[in-house]
Amino acid sequence: MAKLIKRMQKKVERIVKEIAQEYHLPEFVVKAIVESQFQCAREATKQGKTGDPETFLNVRLRHLGLLVAKPGKVKKLHNLKLNKLETNEEDSDTMNNTNGN
């Protein structure tokens, strides 16, 4: 998986350089344009409230598709997060009790 990501990054960097040369723009400007849609998607998904599927926005990424927060998945992730928090609290309580004795 790491090799695939590294390969994709190199491919994106090459494309950014080609576009920058073709349109006589600095590479950082082209890179900012490419990355802006992902930053927008991240901000839109952060606006959703954990456990409330109605608050999550659907985001369309041009050429990639639509990111949809399905109610069942949102609830499942919320429950997993709650279980993890409860487990961490129990573990810390157990450690506090053993250290206190």
Where exactly are the structural domains of the chain? 2-100
At 17, is the pLDDT very low, low, confident or very high (cuts 50, 70, 90)? very high
Which is more confidently placed, 95 or 56? 56
Q: Is the pLDDT of residue 18 over 90?
A: yes
Q: Look-up: residue for tokens 């990054």?
A: 9
Positive or negative, the CA dihedral 30, 34, 36, 39 is: negative
Q: How confident is the model at residue 82 (pLDDT cuts 50, 70, 90)?
A: confident
Query: In a 3-state reduction of DSSP, which class is residue 60?
Result: strand
Task: Express each pLDDT in 25-81 by its tens digit.
Answer: 999 999 888 888 888 888 888 888 877 888 888 888 877 888 888 888 888 888 898
pTM of the entire predicted model = 0.51
Residue 22 predicted with pLDDT over 90: yes
